Structure formats: structure tokens, C-alpha cells
Amino acid sequence: MEVVSDLKAEKVSVEEETEKKNGSGDEAEKEIASSVSFKEESNKVSDLQDPEKKALDELKQLIQIALINHEFTSPPKPKEEAKPIKEEEAKPIKEEEAKPIVTDEKSNPESKTIEEGEEEKSEHSVETHEEEGKAKPTEEAAAVVSETVVVDEDGAKTVEAIEETIVAVQATTESVAETVTPAEEKKEEAGSVEPETTQPPEEVFIWGTPLIGDEKSDVILLKFLRARDFKVKEAFTMIKNTVKWRKEFGIDTLLDEDLGLSDDLEKVVFMNGFDKEGHPVCYNVYGEFQSKELYSKMFSSEEKRQKFLQWRIQFLEESIRKLDFGPAGGVSTIVQINDLKNSPGPGKWELRQATNQALNLLQDNYPEFVAKQVFINVPWWYLAFYRMISPFLTQRTKSKFVVAGPSKSPETLFRYISPEQVPVQYGGLNKEGDKEFSSTDLVEEIIVKPTTKQTIEFPISENCVVVWEVRVVGWEVSYCAEFVPADEAGYTIIVQKTSKISSSDEPVICNNFKVGEPGKIVLTIENSSSKKKKVLYRSKTKPYSD
């Protein structure tokens, strides 16, 4: 329906390419893009390569075994080592047995020999026959007593020897009995123990999806495998650690908790629209933390930083629950837009600490949830920092990063997100509370070359109300609107007279005109600057009655 009168207008992509070849523009604000743009892999098992299919099957087997053994919810039981403990307990007892028998070495060496021999016999008999073992100690005691009485002339010493020997033999008997008793008890218990009932495999869910057994499970497992380059054991360990962390962090209860920060942070982190491939878009506006009040409320203490971290994880969890983990064309990733305009510098260590904590948690527990990381309005120091760390990033990570300075930010966003989906503050036409247009009303784009004039026409064939909105990225152009009737005898009506629109004026011009005869609405944009200008516009008609 719309007609662009300037036939020399070129497509945006051609103009961008020309500018890059000519090297125009400020180098500090040029977009830093990776050599190879990231392309999401398919989540269909049939589309996987053979090694990837094999890795997925192996990971499923490991998870199945872990679920049967309840490894996700309870740690493995330590093995009981009963035998070494008994031997250690028995050793000191034997030492005590030897002491009393050797008590009177000087008085009678022969007695010592007799006692040792009898003691060995006693031990042997106890081990072979329990009943005989109980009787022997008494006989041994008597034998030792008689020997001691005959040899020892000193009555007092004889009595002491008798007492000590009897005590020693009795102690030996008791210790051996104690050693034997547990073994007997084990035999009795073994006969009476009932077989344990087999527990069913445990069920573990992540992001509302079971680890195995659901058509969406493969998509979840592939995220962990890709995060670990399809190394099965590393991916399995990552899954176990993630399940453990989610339990410790209290994710399930966190989803229903009101942390009381949503009103303060609604302009800091928010979801808005979708990119050209259907990914939901999340905006992170760091410049909002220039507010001392907000900064203090979020980061002035460790407790507040932890609460902010909880809120950020809660927000992410809620966003993930809205994704589609279906293997056939489902969207299971998010585009992140990071606005660094007026962002607090590196000196704000509290913000840096909270950000690092969040990044570490995301890296360890939320694999492959980002389709693209776009950094806009990037200051010069970040551009330098990015160039410095770029060689150390993996190709997969770099392929997801897009970094643009202030002058390149709008066109960078338009490369991935349609203008009707981009918020007004970032150069698009997506306005909150817009009563005339929505994100489903498509936007047209044209380029006005330096020192040229271009017109946009909306033909009208019947009585109606024409509504339109137009925006020039960066403005600094002249603009006017007219109605030109189809009848050559008719008069042109000025809807909006020519005026210079600066970048500080209203970013979007909205207007309407009631048409009572066939004709056309003509918008004229004159670019007197030395830079090309991108124009965004859309229109619609509404019926009316006299």
C-alpha cells in the first residue's frame, strides 16, 4: 500500500557494507563482531551426528543408573569395615594377657614356659570348641597355681603370682569370648534379616522437565552436552552439580517467594518482544544503577547483594519456564541485550562482585540458554577490554557476542530484532501502552542518503481515518505531511508543516487524518546532513461514518 518515491534508495544491508568498506565512522564505535556468527543447532535427535547421538545415549544410561541408585537426592553410603576394627580392639587385650603371666620372671623361669604353653593350648581350644574353651581356663589356673606353689618359697610372692595369673587367664577367656560373640551374633542376624524391598527410581526435574522419559528431556540433556563439548562424564557431573545446587539454593520455593524487589528493578531487567527467530528478548539496563538510592538498596551489604542475586535467579527461572523445550522447532534460548549506557565504571566493586556471582552461577547451572549476547551503547573502555579478552574466548562464545558503540547500537539491534519489537528508547517503535499500534503491526524501513529528499506515500481509495507513525533514527532532518487528492482540481491539504526535527525532540511522530475523498498522504523527509538516515514508518486505516 505504501510507495517510496525515491527509486535510488538502497537496501540497508548494502549501505552498511559500503560504509564498512570505506572505513567511515568512528573506529571506537564500530561494532565488534565475531568472524563467524553463531547458529543454533537442531534439538532433533535425528539431526544429530553419530558421535553426538552416542554421547546422548551414554548420558541417558548414566542418569538412569543414578536415578535407580538415588544418587541425586542422597549421597552414597560409606562402606563398613568391621574386621580391621575388631583386630585393633583385640591386640591390646593380648598384650594385657602377656603381662600378668610374665610378672615374676626372676622367681621362676620354668613357670613362665609352662604358663605360655598352657596359654597357647587354651587359645586353641577356645577357637575350636566353645564348650571346652569355657572349661580350660579353670584347669589352667589350677595348674599354674600348683607350679607356683612348688617352686616359689616366698609365700607372699606366691599369693601375688596366683592372683595375677588367675586374673590374667580370666581376662583372656573373657576377651576371646567377646571376640567370638559378634561373629555368632552376625550368623544369627544373617538368618533372621528380611530381604530389603527395592525402592523405585527417584524422579528428578529441572525447569519443570524430568531428566529422562519425556520428549523434552533430550533438549535439556543436549544443553549440558554442548556446554561440555559432548564429553559425557563431564556433562553428567555438571547435571549432578546443578541438581544439588538447585536444591541448596531452594529454587522450587524461590519461584513462589515475593522478594519485594520487582518494583525497584522493573526498569533494570525486563523482557520485551522477540527477535527475528522467535527468541524472547531480555534487556539489562546497567545505567539505572547510577541512582545512588537504588545502588545502595541493592548492593550496600552482603545480605542485600544475596537478595538481589536471588531476585535475578528468580527472574531467569520464570523466563525459562515460558520457553518451549519441544524438540520440533521449540525455542529454548533467550537473546540478552546489555545496555551499558551510563553504566557505573569498574570502580563500583559491589556491582562487579554481584555481577560476577551471577555470571558464575549462570555459567555453572544454566548451560546454553543464551542464543545471543548483544552489548550496546558500549563505552570506549569496554571496547578496549573486549579486544583484550577476545583472543582468550572460545569460538563458540565469541560467535554469540555482539558489541556495538553508541552510534551503531540501533542498527545493530535491527539486525537481529525487527523495529516493531524494539523499545522506543533503543530506536524502535515498540511503545508501552500504545493504543494505535502493536508489535504485530509491521514496520517499513528506508534509507535517506546525505543531502537528499525522500517521500513516503499512503494511497487512499475510500473514506477513512489514516493513522501513521514515523521515526528517523537520530533525526536531525526536516519533515512535513500532506494530503494530495486524486482529483487534479482539488487542493493539497497540509497536515503537518515542514519543520526541523532534532534528536532531542519526541522520538516518534504519530498523526492521523480523516480522508473524505480518494487521494494519498505524502510524508517528505529531507536529509541535509552528511550522514545517511534510517527512516522507520507504518500506517493503518480505520473506517469512519459522517
pLDDT tens-digit series, residues 406-444: 989 999 999 999 999 999 999 999 998 888 999 999 999
Determine the pLDDT at residue 4. 45
- Coil, strand or helix: which one is 525? strand
Encode pLDDT of 179-224 as tens digits: 444 444 444 444 444 445 578 899 999 999 999 999 899 999 999 9
> Angle CA(94)–CA(99)–CA(104) in degrees, nearest 5?
150
- Distances in whole angstroms, Cα of residue 432 to Cα of each of 58, 72, 91, 260, 541: 48, 45, 83, 23, 21
Tracing cell 555453572 back to the chain, one arrives at 364
- Least confident stretch, 139-153, 346-360, 523-537: 139-153
Helix (H) or strand (E) holding 172: helix 155-192
Domain ranges of the chain: 3-9+441-542, 32-44+242-403, 83-192
Q: Where does the pLDDT of residue 393 fall: very low under 50, low under 70, confident under 90, or very high at 90 and above?
A: confident
Determine the pLDDT at residue 197. 56
Distance from CA of residue 286 to its chain's centroid?
20
Residue 522 has pLDDT above 80, yes or no: yes
Encode pLDDT of 228-248 as tens digits: 999 999 999 999 999 999 999
Residue 85 has pLDDT above 50, yes or no: no
Average confidence (pLDDT) over 302-325: 96
- Higher model confidence: residue 359 or residue 138? 359
For the segment(s) 3-9+441-542, the CATH number from 2.60.120.680, 3.40.50.880, 3.40.50.300, 3.90.1640.10 is 2.60.120.680
Average confidence (pLDDT) over 446-469: 96
Determine the pLDDT at residue 150. 41
Helix axes 155-192, 82-101, angle to 10 degrees: 160
To the nearest whole percent, how much of the chain has pLDDT over 70?
A: 70
Enumerate residues 6+ apart whose C-beta is below 8 A from 520. 457, 458, 459, 460, 483, 484, 486
Q: Where does the pLDDT of residue 327 fall: very low under 50, low under 70, confident under 90, or very high at 90 and above?
A: confident
Report how far residue 103's alpha carbon sits from residue 122's, in angstroms, rounded to the nearest whole number.
19
Encode pLDDT of 14-71 as tens digits: 334 334 444 433 554 444 554 456 788 889 999 999 999 999 999 999 999 999 999 9
Report how far residue 234's alpha carbon sits from residue 224's, in angstroms, rounded to the nearest whole number.
9
- Higher model confidence: residue 345 or residue 207? 207
Residue 289, CB-side half-sphere exposure with 13 Å CA sphere:
27
The β-bridge partners of 470 are: 509, 537
Per the structure block, which three cell numbers stand in for 528?
541535509
Q: Are 230 and 52 in contact (CB under 8 A)?
A: yes
- Higher model confidence: residue 176 or residue 294? 294
Determine the pLDDT at residue 102. 43
To the nearest whole percent, how much of the chain has pLDDT over 90?
A: 57
Average confidence (pLDDT) over 166-175: 44
pTM: 0.72
Enumerate residues 6+ apart whose C-beta is below 8 A from 267. 285, 288
Helix (H) or strand (E) holding 291: none
Encode pLDDT of 92-115 as tens digits: 444 444 444 444 444 444 444 444
Report how far residue 385's alpha carbon sits from residue 401's, in angstroms, rounded to the nearest whole number.
14
Residue 153 has pLDDT above 90, yes or no: no
Longest dimension (CA), the chain: 157
Per the structure block, which three cell numbers stand in for 461?
481509495
Encode pLDDT of 268-309 as tens digits: 999 999 999 999 999 999 999 999 999 999 999 999 999 999
- Distances in whole angstroms, Cα of residue 292 to Cα of each of 123, 263, 287, 288, 342: 84, 16, 11, 9, 13
* b (16+ CB within 10 A) / e for 143-163: ebbebbeebbeeeebbebbbe
- Higher model confidence: residue 7 or residue 329? 329
For the segment(s) 32-44+242-403, the CATH number from 3.40.525.10, 3.90.950.10, 1.25.40.10, 1.50.10.20 is 3.40.525.10
Determine the pLDDT at residue 103. 43
Helix (H) or strand (E) holding 339: strand 334-339
Q: Where does the pLDDT of residue 342 fall: very low under 50, low under 70, confident under 90, or very high at 90 and above?
A: very high
Q: CA torsion, points 472, 478, 482, 486, in degrees to nearest 10?
A: -90
Distance from CA of residue 507 to its chain's centroid?
37
Residue 356 has pLDDT above 50, yes or no: yes
Determine the pLDDT at residue 198. 74
Q: Tell me the pLDDT of the chain averaged across its residues.
A: 79
Report how far residue 120's alpha carbon sits from residue 117's, in angstroms, rounded to the nearest whole number.
5
Running DSSP on this structure, what letter comes out for residue 458? E
